[in-house]
Amino acid sequence: MAEVPSTFQLTPGAFAPTFALSDAAGTIYAPGSLIAERRGLLVIFVCNHCPYVIHLADALGQFADEIDTRGIATVAIASNDVDRYPQDGPDRMPAFAEAHGWHFPYLHDATQEVAHAYAAACTPDFYLFDGDLRLVYAGQFDDSRPGSGKATGSDLARAVENLLADHETPQPWYPSTGCNIKWRPGNEPDYFG
């Protein structure tokens, strides 16, 4: 699995690209419904098999529970090509989420259009939006990596604190590092590679 740093194409203040995606049970979610009466929305691109996601999966579940109590919703999106990576398919997503204490929606982006819209490059990739769905942070969870440090969410936690205090999160935003999104053949975005 290649280690690929994410490339940001959403700029600070950009609106969250819209989507209407379903979870494994068929419930449809969209940014507007997720953010209703909330102070922010965390959008994460993940998958089941990536060691970078597995490394922080438990900490992410705890982190999302904590920020939920503070008014920030979380949603995870899986965009990998499930023909080549069936372990990342919707039939296996609920068990992965349950095993790691994910109480937020875990959605399937079968067309990969949402990953394209967010310029997501790797799993995991994190995007934090304010209550108006404007981007306030895109970057790493923290600087831990598989086999190197415990996942704490320190970088993302700073961004959340800044959002809740109505402060900007200063640059640089260190990009996420992980496994590249598994694009369907011929569906690779211009920013990939």
Write the DSSP symbol of residue 173: -
- Please count the structural domains in the chain: 1
Answer whether 75's CB lies under 8 Å from 34's CB. yes
Whether 140 is covered by a domain: the verdict is yes
Give mean pLDDT, residues 46-66: 98
Residue-wise pLDDT tens digits, 138-156:
999 999 999 999 999 999 9
Q: Which domain holds residue 154?
A: 3-180
pLDDT in tens, 79-93: 999 999 999 999 999
**The overall pTM is greater than 0.85:** yes
Structure tokens at 90: 């919707």
CATH number of the domain that residue 47 is part of? 3.40.30.10
Distances (CA, A) of 32 to 88, 100, 170: 26, 26, 26
Over the stretch 100-153, which tens digit does the pLDDT of each residue have? 999 999 999 999 999 999 999 999 999 999 999 999 999 999 999 999 999 999
Among 25, 26, 24, 43, which Cα is nearest to 123's?
A: 43
Tokens matching residue 68: 């939920």
What pLDDT, on the 0 to 100 scale, is given for residue 4? 39
Q: Within a domain: residue 186? A: no
Cα–Cα distance, 175 to 161 (Å, whole number): 19
